[in-house]
Amino acid sequence: MNLYHDIVGKKEKISVIGLGYVGMPVAVAFGKKADVIGFDLNKEKVETYKKGIDPTKEVGEKVIRETTVFFTFSEEDIKKAKFHIIAVPTPITEEKTPDLTSIVSASELLGRNLTQGSIVVYESTVYPGVTEDICVPVLEEISGLKCGIDFKVGYSPERINPGDKVHRLETIVKVVSGMDDESLDVIAKVYELVVEAGVYRAKSIKVAEAAKVIENSQRDINIAFMNELAIIFNELEIDTQAVLEAAGTKWNFLNFQPGLVGGHCIGVDPYYLTYKADQVGYRSQIILSGRRINDDMGKYIVENIIKKSINSNILIKKARVGIFGFTFKENCPDTRNTRVIDIVHELNKYGIEPLVFDPVADREGAITEYGFALKDVGHMNNLDVIIVAVNHDEFKEYSLNRWRSFYRNGDKKVMIDVKGIMGRKVVDSLDISYWRL
């Protein structure tokens, strides 16, 4: 408990390692209650924060300018802290297996700067066992310290929802865990400083790790069910959205929608769980089936684009196709693991190089990760096919005449509305060949 009181009394500091979509809000929130060191290896990112700029759009530039967080890319500064939070990405490889490179590297970095009496909390999404079986040995080997004697560890899964201004760190119940009662108590009390919704003390670190991966696996499976329904109803020529609206009148019907499933959580976390299950001899059935459906939705959408285009007498190889939206979700600049790229790649197979416009997306991130530049809205003209791939608020505000202004003159117009932000009857009345999931 002394560490908690020392943090409150500002005798000891908190370090947050990894200042991305998760780490940055965590650092800023704790900065209101304690002395915080915000560390990231990316010098350019750190300098951007120092200038009061928020490329993630998660906390806002006014908040960053006013925060007391000490931003640094110098790892030696981490030695000044005793309570460490690691919030680095845990993606998957091309083979759909966990990529623990960043979390192991962060553990090595912290190990070089770990001091006696510290507590280390991991927030990165992992499968059960990673914290204790993989990260702890790295910390011990690099630091020369003994876990349980010289330092202790815990796990508290991040639940931040990028782009969501309602469900934030402060307003979502925080699951916390520790290697023993003492570390759990300190970790819980430290997080209670900033989490207004309160904390839930998990029975063990592995329980907390497992809770995180099943949260997003559950969502993934439910969305896969909606996607499968959309495929079935499309074949039956029934409007899926109309069916869901009717079914939604029952009090216990779950309100999930069909669509592309990407990002660094829902489209990734299930593979962490199935990987661990495979290690202990169980081959997942439901989880992997859901993943297969969701991973194939880009291909399915393009198949319907081609069908609609042919029926509208549009020459496929000469078609001018515009994609509106490239981020993995609405109103968020994050393009990591966006499945809109699947639509791009599938269109490429038909000889189509689509124009992609996104008013929200991290443009540099798109170039770095996917190798092409997003277009300005001025380039989105003379189109034959419009694909509304992401339901940004800006797109919802476009009038029908605004959408029509992007098309080529003539009667051959196709609109693919992935998230169904337009009304089918309204669009059909304007002689646009319309399709939605």
Give the CA angle between residues 201, 187, 17 to the nearest 5°. Answer: 120
Cβ atoms < 10 Å from Cβ of 58:
26
Minimal CA–CA distance to 199: which of 175, 178, 171?
A: 175
Give CA–CA dist 263/298, Å, rounded. 14
Which is nearest to 122 in space by CA: 97, 169, 89, 164?
89
What is d(CA 137, CA 129) in angstroms, rounded to the nearest whole number? Answer: 12
Residues 268, 273, 274: CA angle, nearest 5 degrees: 95
Residue type, 221: I
Residue 268 CA to residue 270 CA, distance in Å, equals 6
- For the chain, the residue count is 437
Cβ burial of 298 (10 Å; 0-12, 13-18, 19+) is buried
Check 135, 147, 265, 332 and give the catalytic one. 265
265 is catalytic: yes
Residue 280 burial by Cβ neighbours in a 10 Å radius (0-12, 13-18, 19+): exposed
Radius of gyration of the chain (CA): 24
Please identify every residue annotated as catalytic: 265
